[in-house]
Amino acid sequence: MNIIKRVKAPTPKFFKILRSIGLALLAISGTVVAAPIILPATVVTVAGYMAVAGGVISAVSQMAVDDRNLNKSRDGD
């Protein structure tokens, strides 16, 4: 299975929830980093780490495949 088919394949419910959490981390960290007020360096550093963690969680969760639904869609082809 190549990357394109894997991304387009159905994702299990647990990983959909994880993907949403990762995207929320990205949004929060982006807001903190782009804040128009001066924040302590520690807060900005933690926000950067949150952005990386959110991106990794979202990417890995998107690559998870629900094999049961995948096999059903193959049988129909």
Handedness of CA 24, 29, 34, 37 (dihedral sign): positive
- What is the rounded CA–CA span in Å between residue 25 and residue 57? 9
Q: What is this structure's pTM?
A: 0.74
The yes-or-no verdict on residue 69 having pLDDT over 80 is no
Contact 26, 51 (CB under 8 A): yes
pLDDT per residue as tens digits for the range 5-57: 887 888 889 999 999 999 999 999 999 999 888 989 999 999 999 999 999 99
Model pLDDT, residue 77: 47
What's the Rg (C-alpha) of the chain?
17
Number of continuous H segments (helices) and E segments (strands) in the chain: 4, 0
Q: Name the token pair of 11.
A: 């994702």
The yes-or-no verdict on residue 76 having pLDDT over 90 is no
